[in-house]
Chain A
Amino acid sequence: MKVRAQMGMVMNLDKCIGCHTCSVTCKNVWTNRRGTEYVWFNNVETKPGRGYPVDYEDQAKWKGGWELDRRGKLKLKAGGPLRKLASIFYNPDLPELDAYYDPWTYDYDKLISSPASDQQPVARPKSQVTGDSLDLNWGPNWEDDLAGSAEHAVHDPNFRNIQEEVRQGFEETFMVYLPRICEHCVNPACVASCPSGAMYKREEDGIVLVDQEACRSWRFCVSGCPYKKVYFNWNTGKAEKCNFCFPRIEAGMPTVCSETCVGRLRHLGVVLIDTDRVEAAASVADDKDLLDAQLDLMLDPDDPEVREQALRDGIPADWLDAASNSPVYAMAKKWRIALPLHPEYRTLPMVWYVPPLSPIESVGAELIRDGGDEENIFAAIDQMRIPIGYLASILAAGDPEPVRLSLERLVAMRRYMRDVNLGNEVRPSIATEAGMEPHELEEMFRMVAIGDYDDRYVIPRRHGEVSPDAFTAQGSCGIDFANGAPVPGVGAMTGVDAPDPYGGALASASSGEVTERGALAQEAPDPEFDIRDLLVKRHPAETAGEGDHA
């Protein structure tokens, strides 16, 4: 046994309203730079749908993730190191920019600078890569809320292996929001695909990062990741990816996407992984056994033997306490309501999803509201509007059982707590039928339904006292190369000198320089202006007093 701590996340899809706040806040923090305009470390997809990039789940096409060879040995689906070195001059599995989308902005300047004319001025979309005008026919969330589903959703690869037809009738359509970030896998295919060894897992928390100074632009991480969550910055020529907001995590704060989540559906915590058994777990013969194999890797943090070994392996005691209170361990392993995204890719992903409940089509609403017919519950779950088979093809390698178990427990929790909250006679049988104890359902209720901040986020802080070289590591996450600013030394020669679609307005706006043109033009600040005047009606005496001090 070799114990390592691993950060993980659970997203409760039952609560996701598809507002994209996570995506927008993430984008504003990490990827609003030249070269990453098309990059969304966090995105929210409507399923059924083709996703971002298009059809990323179709591994027959993209060859991401791992597979077993004829002898049952784990290998990268796109081929091992020798195969990669042989195709180093052209990666046959790399998506082109159009598979994501050509990022654009609008020519807002035209709206105010056009000369008088009979026609209204129009702000045309301009590519943020080339500055050329675009005819938009694909973009981020083009298929949001099933838009154009007759055209797009029918191509969803998740329908391939299940009996379900794509339901297009108005009465029977269904959809699920699927927020996605990097999975920070225990067996990451991107890391194994990197010829330079630039991609790595952090020993202390398992976060997967790209060493910007070691990346050599070989691109195999991008194609190797089956979730397509490693991106290529075309300006710097380097791979970039979700870094789990590690500067925040190190300070005990949740990731930006979690912190800003309107539905409070994200949970963060530490799990203990037995890394001696990772290869074996990822190599089980049947795809459907991968979930159990992965859960088996997650060690019980309350087991004294595990604790002892963890301390010996250098995991601090406060991290073990955090592992004991981990929402990820509770939801994934204790209660088994959270499931990994596409376990069949054999990457042992560490972002988990609670499947969503959905209206029951024919049984009616009595199930939860009136306590339901005991006999009918399991049948009813199979008639939920979102087909279990569809959820299973996303979250359980096509095995409906783990999804059914999760949904049963979510229903049981609601039925049980309804009695508690209404002062009815509490029925422990509801819990036992779902294979749980009544107190477990109540704990689950606190986590899933109430979800206090401190229950959702159990993040132990980094031990700064034993790793004093954080200062020398600064800049290694790559954002100091914002907007393609030249790096010291030769970077000035290699930095891309491309036309800026913003016409330099952004750069001058941020430097405080006054510019004459464009919507971003700034005026010199009014020295009298005090932002507090906008917020509250201030007493004249108060402002007069300030004048004296100034």
Chain B
Amino acid sequence: MIALATSTLSVAAYSILPYVALSIGIGGLIWRRKTDRFGWTARSTELLENKVLRFASVLFHLGVLAAIGGHVLGILIPQSFTEAVGLSDEAYHVLAVVGGITAGAAVVIGFAALMYRRIKFPRVRVTTTRMDVVTFVVLGVAIASGMLATLINIPDSVHYRESVAPYFRQIFVLNPDPELMEGVNWIFQFHVTFVWFLYALWPFSRLIHAFTVPVGYPLRSPIVYRPRKAGRPQTGKFGGGSPDYSPSIPAVTKATPEGSGGPDQGS
């Protein structure tokens, strides 16, 4: 329940905005999945430039993965749990700061290099859409504010595990508590509020490719055969199959010329 003491702005930013953003984000994902599978792609530009991309893309993406992992750990795992497994608050903070700064630095450097590349190389520049520009600005602000928040919290002054983290857990259990956010450092407030715009933007931007991780690839047979009629998987790894294989195209034998009719049988 929303406390009466909280201001209207606070309610809007901490209680309403998250659900609006998540609704747009999740609804957008479903809509995009249904209407635009063709546009659901990473839109790689490696063909057009690969020397800067080589380190920038790897640095950025690995940094982002580490940063996302850090956010998940920091938000979802309660302080009581880490204390229970014997990790002191001081040790946890050192881990969080060192990990956060490392991942953040990778993201910042990678992102800056990717932006430099996009502006510097005309071939990459021409593939940039207006939506890309919006995405890069929003992503850039989110990254900058996140990095700044990490640096500001080096002395462990914010105590976000007692404020920001429970605030997020409350959102996920559909019981937001804006008061938890009201006392924290302004940069945390800004970062937490701002990233909702990123989530709302996500399905409509090139960031959509994050939802296409090909996890099934290692389990798949190397050679893929597709039947005309969907729904029946192939049998063997390299396209072979058992003798009881049921055909998708019924055999048309010479003995029964009237068998399956159709005007275009002849060769």
Contacts and interface: CB of A to CB of B under 8 A. Distances in A.
Interface of A: 1-2, 4, 76, 80-82, 84-85, 88-92, 94-97, 129-132, 186-188, 191-192, 194-197, 199-204, 212-219, 222, 232, 234-238, 252, 274-279, 282, 309, 311-319, 321-322, 458-467, 469, 481, 487-491, 493-499
B212 A187 contact: no
B236 interface: yes
A314 B236 contact: no
Contacts of B54: 90, 92
B261 to A, nearest CB: 6
Interface string B216-227: 111010111111
B223 A317 contact: no
A188 B224 CA distance: 9
A484 to B, nearest CB: 10
A69 to B, nearest CB: 14
B86 interface: no
B248 A466 contact: yes
Contacts of A497: 129-130
Contact of B131 (A194, A462, A493): A493
Contact of A321 (B45, B217, B267): B267
A469 B227 CA distance: 12
A103 to B, nearest CB: 11
A243 to B, nearest CB: 14
Nearest to A465: B262
B47 interface: yes
Contact of B229 (A2, A195, A196, A467): A467
B258 interface: no
Interface residues of B, number: 79
Contact of B214 (A80, A85, A188, A315): A85
A519 B220 CA distance: 52
A203 B228 contact: yes
A496 B216 contact: no
B251 interface: yes
B47 A97 contact: yes
Interface in B28-46: 31-32, 35-46
A312 to B, nearest CB: 7
B155 interface: no
Given A203-B227, A490-B36, A278 B238 contact: yes
B260 A94 contact: no
Given A89-B57, A203-B226, A196 B123 contact: no
A311 to B, nearest CB: 4
Contact of B218 (A85, A92, A313, A467): A85
Q: Ordered nearest first, which 9 A-B pairs have the shortest CB separation?
A: A314-B247, A465-B262, A195-B214, A276-B240, A237-B43, A489-B35, A192-B222, A467-B228, A498-B126
B122 interface: yes
B90 interface: no
Contact of A487 (B38, B61, B122, B234): B38
B223 A201 contact: yes
A129 B123 contact: yes
B248 A235 contact: no
B217 A84 contact: yes
Given A188-B223, A197-B217, A463-B249, A491 B265 contact: no
Contacts of B48: 96-97, 129, 234
11 contacts: A96-B48, A187-B238, A192-B223, A201-B239, A313-B245, A314-B246, A463-B252, A494-B36, A494-B129, A495-B129, A498-B126
Interface in B106-131: 122-123, 125-131
A186 to B, nearest CB: 8
Given A317-B254, A464-B262, A490-B203, 11 more contacts: A85-B218, A195-B214, A197-B216, A217-B44, A238-B38, A276-B236, A277-B240, A278-B238, A467-B228, A494-B206, A497-B129
B251 A315 contact: yes
B237 interface: yes
Contacts of A194: 224
B102 interface: no
B123 A97 contact: yes
Contacts of A314: 245-251
Contact of A276 (B39, B45, B226, B241): B241
Contacts of B62: 89
A218 B42 contact: yes
Contact of B264 (A216, A234, A461): A461
Given A90-B46, A129-B123, A232-B44, A252 B267 contact: yes
Majority secondary structure, A binding face:
loop
Nearest to A470: B228
B110 to A, nearest CB: 10
B159 interface: no
Nearest to B203: A490
Contact of B38 (A1, A232, A491): A491
Contacts of B123: 97, 129-130, 234
A494 B131 contact: yes
B250 to A, nearest CB: 6
Contacts of B254: 317
Contact of A318 (B50, B220, B252): B252
A129 B126 contact: yes
Interface in B159-191: none
Given A276-B241, A496-B129, A191 B229 contact: no
Given A200-B225, A491-B38, A235 B127 contact: yes
Nearest to B250: A466
Among B39, B61, B220, B252, the one with the most A-chain Cβ atoms within 10 Å of its Cβ is B39
Among A4, A91, A202, the one with the most B-chain Cβ atoms within 10 Å of its Cβ is A91
A271 to B, nearest CB: 14
Contacts of B267: 252, 318-319, 321-322, 458-461
A312 B243 contact: yes
Given A212-B38, A215-B41, A312 B238 contact: no
A467 B264 CA distance: 12
Given A191-B222, A317-B251, A321-B267, A218 B214 contact: yes
Given A94-B50, A96-B50, A318 B44 contact: no
Nearest to B56: A90
B41 to A, nearest CB: 4
Nearest to B37: A213
A263 B204 CA distance: 51
B222 A275 contact: no
B240 to A, nearest CB: 4
Contacts of A465: 260-262, 264-265
Interface in B1-51: 31-32, 35-50
Contacts of A97: 47-48, 123
Nearest to B46: A94
A451 B193 CA distance: 73
A2 B241 contact: yes
A135 to B, nearest CB: 14
A79 B239 CA distance: 21
Contacts of A214: 37
B58 interface: yes
